[in-house]
Amino acid sequence: CRCSLPCLLRLVSAPDKWTHANGDCGGKSQSPINVVTRKTLPDARLTPFDFNNYQQIFRGTIKNNGHSVQVGVPHLSTVSGGGLPTTYKAVQFHLHWGDNGGPGSEHTIDGEQYPMELHIVHMKHHYTDLTTALSDPEGVAVLGFFYERSNSANRKYEPIINALRSIKTTNGNTSLPPVSLAQLIPAQQNLTSYYRYKGSLTTPGCTEAVVWTLFENPIPLSTEQLRTFSELKFHDGKPMVGTFRPVQPLNGRQVYRSGGAAVLASTTVLVAAVAVALGLSRPN
């Protein structure tokens, strides 16, 4: 069965019950996952991304939707390259966090859970709505970014942080000052190291139609900035904390990493050097 919005809001704090509300949440390709880096495979197709119009300034509306905060994004911003099958256009971004700056990311890396995770949701460029895109096994591409605690505030995030104080209750919304997607993520030259796998939405209906990209380089936020997210309220008035789904089984899926050619080359050189040192190499 499909879970209605009221049903979803009741289940936000009980992800272990999602399968009962929507059978898709018990699928074999669910998200999030724990990335075990030593088990990832290099993939030379995972080249640098082409971010188009990510620098574009826009005036968005930030909303407390009862289980997260979400900002709609003009479709002018697109992403391609990076091993994606086509160009994807941005739809919205939202975040997942813990309790007062504690562990809160959805994905984990070698078991490490970061304080927060940003998801920039895209759909294939020829689709006009997300519902239709989700009927395509690769219709949606989500770029995931982790956050780390910093000793100083990230000024680029001040428009977001300040707006949170105006949307503490469900359905609260306010206009953001002019922002761009580029100001919210690391510089493009720092976005070449990432992981890739096929998965799902992380909230009901958990549709398995997502090409996931998880970037290695985290975004710094001060502890105070991270704590501001915990001042928001769920639909029932309780503090909006722990807004993440637990990691799901891989069920045989493979996780790939970028920079594969460089890793393989380095390994080859190392093996050759060891062979020479041990006197194992033979003259031609």
pLDDT tens readout for residues 13-53: 556 555 555 668 999 999 999 999 999 999 999 999 999 99
Q: What is the C-alpha to C-alpha distance for residues 16 and 206, in angstroms, rounded to an integer?
A: 13
Q: What is the C-alpha to C-alpha distance for residues 58 and 181, in angstroms, rounded to an integer?
A: 9
Assigned domain for 51 exists: yes
Burial letters for 156-189: b for 16+ Cβ neighbours within 10 Å, e otherwise? bbebbbebbeebeebebeeeeeebbbbbbbeeee
Whether the predicted pLDDT of 59 surpasses 60: yes
Classified as helix, coil or strand, 78 is strand
pLDDT digits (tens, 9 = 90+) for 181-235: 999 999 999 999 999 999 999 999 999 999 999 999 999 999 999 999 999 999 9
Q: Tell me what the pLDDT averaged over the chain comes to.
A: 88
Section 251-255 average pLDDT: 98
Structural domain count, the chain: 1
Classify the phi-psi angles of 108: left when phi > 0, otherwise alpha if psi is within -120 to 50, otherwise beta.
beta
Assigned domain for 184 exists: yes
Q: What are phi and psi of 275, to 5 degrees?
A: -60, -45
CATH of the domain at 30: 3.10.200.10
Section 171-184 average pLDDT: 96
Running DSSP on this structure, what letter comes out for residue 53? S
pTM for the complete prediction?
Answer: 0.87
Whether the predicted pLDDT of 275 surpasses 60: no
Q: Mark whether 67 is an active-site residue.
A: yes
Assigned domain for 127 exists: yes
Assigned domain for 266 exists: no
Task: Identify the domain containing residue 85 by its residue range.
Answer: 5-258
Q: What is the reported pLDDT for 111?
A: 98
Assigned domain for 175 exists: yes
Assigned domain for 109 exists: yes
Whether the predicted pLDDT of 82 surpasses 90: yes
Percentage of the chain surpassing pLDDT 90?
A: 81
Assigned domain for 241 exists: yes
Assigned domain for 164 exists: yes
pLDDT classification of 259: cutoffs 50, 70, 90? confident
Q: What is the reported pLDDT for 24?
A: 82
Whether the predicted pLDDT of 284 surpasses 50: no
